[in-house]
Structure 1
């Protein structure tokens, strides 16, 4: 977490200096959403249901492991899901189907991980409408998951699922740049469900949105080169994610000793030189591992995590799915 983010989450008074800019950001965000609601800006529906997985804050909230869990759940319910994503950091102007031949710089690190682990088609494009249309035209998908798509109002949606980091919450609850929020806290009253990742978070009074818990469960570290076998050892942690402290806490929770850390900005584009001076053994997140396989050394590992949702949420989601089938 950089010094700016620490100010957001530790209530540092310097963030108040940017409060006037946050008011302007709030005005623009509110008018933009209102404009789509009133039809001032065009939004488009696709012929299959669209599920939004997003958040109202910047930084990691667990969307990627949740999206992977959602793909498995929908498949088990008889659906054929596909994923659309922006492809953060990639230079994309038209829809691209993610394949094993792509690198993270081509399509983004999260889409590459989603495509490799979900076994579902993943299409990336800054234009989510074009991505969803391409997905449905070129595959047999019958439900679209829009990864990090809450603020992309051009694509009409049937279900909005918002994740919150249960450890950090929403910080000082100010909008950018004085705080971490993309939209006001009141937006949570309009979504279909809030999923709190690994902790407790109390929604504001008067919010009737269903709230559910999610836990991230780590599994055995895996070698990037596919050859080294994991053995208990002290490691250097490497991460380029929104909340690296969560990674630290997870590693400690399973008894792995940490000898040093090397944290980079979220979505950092790793190359061989940027990690040349890192002392191994290395343990990194799975999202970062997809960017490092081409130059991985022996005894570089990643820690997979799996999302675990409550039975209550599963029953709630099954009810939503039945409504679509009955239409």
Structure 2
């Protein structure tokens, strides 16, 4: 975490040297939004119903496990969902132009880490591309899907949407309340008044507390016992000493979750979000050290992983009240165009 990011969640005044850039960001984003509202920029009609799962801030809010949960909920209602994503970190390729379908054979450097994880966990079509409206059309033309979940894309106003869901992190919330780069916000909190559903990710709980949390808290993350990266049927007992390694938006949540599960964390190594891991990143550790990774990071480490590297899987825990609200929104969706 650099000094700018630290200032987002502290009382530091150093960030205010960036205030001119925040004013510029506000002006540009406001003008862009008004151009869409006035019809001077075109929102492209979607051929399929679209649900956006996004946030108004930079950094992890638990979108990936929520999207995985939403895929399963839609399937239970008889839908065939697909996911579109920007594919952050995916390299350009003449052989694989955008929009690009994520497949089992597609390497992570061409898919991005989160899209690859979403495909592996859901086995539904995942299409990446910076133009999400184009990606939605690609889903319609090339898959059997009849509904689309946009992983992020709340601010991608070119893409029409039917439902907007925003996730917030309970500990970080709006940070210092300022727009980028003085603060972590992409949009002001007033944007939440226009979305269909706002959920607050309250973090992780122990397994004994999860049943209670399902009725008392709207959204949280439930960790399961870690499994071996190379041999998934092998699990890692809790109370084991581990080294945490991650390149995610909110590594402190990963640390908190591992501790909650009972793992003994005696070292951590944090990289920037979406870090492209290589074997040299792990040279500080001994060969017999047990490495514990997030699922998103693990998909980038498989090629050089050791036998004692493990993955901590995370799932979304949704209250019954929120699920009923989601079903109400889903039932009101228009039919595919």
Q: Which aligned pairs between 1:158-173 and structure 2 lie closer than 5 A?
A: 158-173=162-177
Aligned position for 2:292: 283
User: Quick one: distance in 2 between partners of 1:229 and 1:71?
Assistant: 26
Does the alignment pair 1:136 with 2:145?
no
User: Quick one: distance in 2 between partners of 1:17 and 1:59?
Assistant: 22
- CA distances 1:272-299 after superposition (whole Å, capped 9, x unpaired): 1222333420001110000001110011
Is the 1:216–1:307 contact (alpha carbons within 8 Å) kept by the matching residues of 2?
Answer: yes
Cα distance, 1:106–1:236 mapped onto 2, change above 3 Å: same
SS at match of 2:333: helix
Does the alignment pair 1:104 with 2:108?
yes
Unaligned runs of 5+ in 2: 204-216
- CA distances 1:52-72 after superposition (whole Å, capped 9, x unpaired): 011111111101011000001
User: Quick one: distance in 1 between partners of 2:108 and 2:202?
Assistant: 27
User: Quick one: distance in 2 between partners of 1:161 and 1:189?
Assistant: 11
- CA distances 1:101-124 after superposition (whole Å, capped 9, x unpaired): 122211100000000001111011
Does the alignment pair 1:214 with 2:253?
no
267, 278, 298: which one aligns with 1:271: 278
Aligned position for 1:206: none
Structure 1 residue 324: Cα displacement: 2.1
Matched residue count: 315
Aligned position for 1:79: 79
Aligned position for 2:265: 258
Structure 1, 26-35 or 257-266: larger mean CA deviation: 26-35
Aligned position for 2:208: none
- CA distances 1:281-324 after superposition (whole Å, capped 9, x unpaired): 00011100000011100110010010011111111111112212
- CA distances 1:177-220 after superposition (whole Å, capped 9, x unpaired): 10001111211111111111116xxxxxxxxxxxx721100001
Q: Which aligned pairs between 1:22-171 and structure 2 lie closer than 5 A?
A: 22-92=22-92, 93-171=97-175
User: Quick one: distance in 2 between partners of 1:138 and 1:268?
Assistant: 31
Is the 1:63–1:147 contact (alpha carbons within 8 Å) kept by the matching residues of 2?
Answer: yes
223, 244, 250: which one aligns with 2:251: 244
User: Quick one: distance in 2 between partners of 1:19 and 1:70?
Assistant: 38
Structure 1 residue 94: Cα displacement: 1.7
Aligned position for 1:208: none
Aligned position for 1:231: 237
Structure 1 residue 47: Cα displacement: 1.7
User: Quick one: distance in 1 between partners of 2:195 and 2:11?
Assistant: 26
Aligned position for 2:320: 311
**Which segments of structure 1 move beyond 6 Å, counting only runs of 4 or more?**
none
- CA distances 1:211-255 after superposition (whole Å, capped 9, x unpaired): x72110000101111165423410000010111111111111111
User: Quick one: distance in 2 between partners of 1:100 and 1:326?
Assistant: 30
Structure 1 residue 326: Cα displacement: 7.8
- What RMSD over aligned residues (CA atoms) do the two structures have, in Å? 1.5
Aligned position for 2:206: none
User: Quick one: distance in 1 between partners of 2:20 and 2:100?
Assistant: 39
User: Quick one: distance in 2 between partners of 1:235 and 1:214?
Assistant: 27
- CA distances 1:150-188 after superposition (whole Å, capped 9, x unpaired): 111111110110111111111001011100011112111
Is the 2:49–2:334 contact (alpha carbons within 8 Å) kept by the matching residues of 1?
Answer: no
Cα distance, 1:105–1:326 mapped onto 2, change above 3 Å: closer
Structure 1, 253-262 or 226-235: larger mean CA deviation: 226-235
User: Quick one: distance in 2 between partners of 1:152 and 1:139?
Assistant: 22
Structure 1, 24-33 or 78-87: larger mean CA deviation: 24-33
Is the 1:53–1:147 contact (alpha carbons within 8 Å) kept by the matching residues of 2?
Answer: yes
